[in-house]
A and B are shown apart, each in its own frame.
Chain A
């Protein structure tokens, strides 16, 4: 069975600090996809990134970076120089590769960035 664990329920940082959100997953599939979504206070879900299990290259997009480590089944997300607008709930999700398949979400990490 697939499972996604986000052990950090809430994190609070001061603006301009770096912060890392942890994500650990479980799957028996050798091919799978990992996702991060952001849910701001307005409630919608904003897609951030998708990685497949064969691509372990770290990715950077502006102040965001992702560290995928297959050996530890982790897909961590780092925000550099955090800003108040980063305050949101962040969800990590997993999907196995069988065509179009549903996502399995973690419970989310609530990030509060204080000015």
Chain B
């Protein structure tokens, strides 16, 4: 059973370009979370998705950032017109559905975005 997969692992973009980060959850997991880790900081929640639905995007900047989790395929975090401040590690986590409380979230290896 493969773990959470993220690609690319490293991504370099110039200011103004678009960044697309992909996350494939663990098999059987229908919930995906995106977190951002700025240098020397803890992880901060960005968005929580289920298949075809955004459940909570309270942590995502209103402009330039969007996320989706289509019925088929990986979850995508898209950053348009990147700026230097977007340089960070972006982690994806997945969990199965539970009615009894939060599950352990399984984290991917992260994508390290560098904006030149």
Contacts and interface: CB of A to CB of B under 8 A. Distances in A.
Genuine A/B complex: yes
A32 to B, nearest CB: 9
Interface stretch (A59-67, A68-76, A98-106): A98-106
Nearest to A106: B42
A107 to B, nearest CB: 4
Contacts, number: 70
B29 to A, nearest CB: 10
B91 interface: yes
Interface residues of A, number: 27
Given A43-B89, A99-B101, A104 B45 contact: yes
B42 A102 contact: no
A43 B110 contact: yes
Contact of A102 (B33, B41, B109, B112): B33
Contacts of B93: 103
Interface residues of B, number: 30
Interface of B: 31, 33, 35, 41-45, 48, 55-56, 59, 89, 91, 93, 95, 97-99, 101-110, 112
30 contacts: A4-B42, A35-B104, A43-B109, A44-B109, A44-B110, A45-B91, A47-B104, A47-B106, A52-B101, A93-B43, A97-B101, A97-B102, A99-B98, A99-B99, A100-B97, A100-B98, A100-B102, A100-B103, A102-B35, A102-B45, A102-B48, A103-B35, A103-B93, A103-B102, A103-B105, A104-B45, A105-B43, A106-B42, A107-B42, A108-B42
